[in-house]
């Protein structure tokens, strides 16, 4: 079986109703730098939403970098994840980490959600 590693539009949480659904009753995994909130969906694939607040991360290039790292780890691991809607929230402390550390933290958080 050929795994497909794309991050398609259907894999995104696109509107506030989807976000509200996750926020209303999430299953949460946290570190000091990142939180991942998850909630089961009735689809046959996981979806990703990002919350990288300007209040926490001032510079847009840093916010965009974090979004890219999150999307990339999600893209590579999505075939292992249970069918949930996820919201990844970045906290202030994330700016103290190297890219490699951010990726490692994300991988260990995603591991809680493997099928």
25-77: per-residue pLDDT in tens?
Answer: 999 999 999 999 999 999 999 999 999 999 999 999 999 999 999 999 999 99
Rg (CA), the chain: 13
Contacts of 25 (CB under 8 A, 6+ apart): 39
Fold of 9-113: Ribosomal Protein S5; domain 2 (3.30.230)
For the whole model, what pTM was predicted?
0.93
Q: What is the DSSP letter of 114?
A: B
């Amino acid at each position: 079986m050929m795994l497909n590693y794309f991050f398609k539009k259907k894999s995104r949480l696109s509107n506030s109703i989807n976000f509200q659904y996750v926020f209303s009753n999430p299953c949460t995994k946290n570190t000091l730098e990142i939180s991942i909130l998850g909630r089961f969906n009735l689809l046959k694939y996981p979806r990703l939403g990002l919350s990288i607040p300007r209040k926490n991360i001032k510079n847009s290039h840093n916010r965009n970098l974090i979004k890219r790292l999150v999307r990339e780890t999600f893209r590579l691991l999505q075939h292992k994840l249970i069918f949930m809607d996820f919201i990844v929230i970045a906290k202030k402390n994330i700016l103290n980490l190297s890219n490699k550390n951010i990726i490692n933290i994300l991988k260990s958080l995603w591991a809680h959600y493997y099928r």
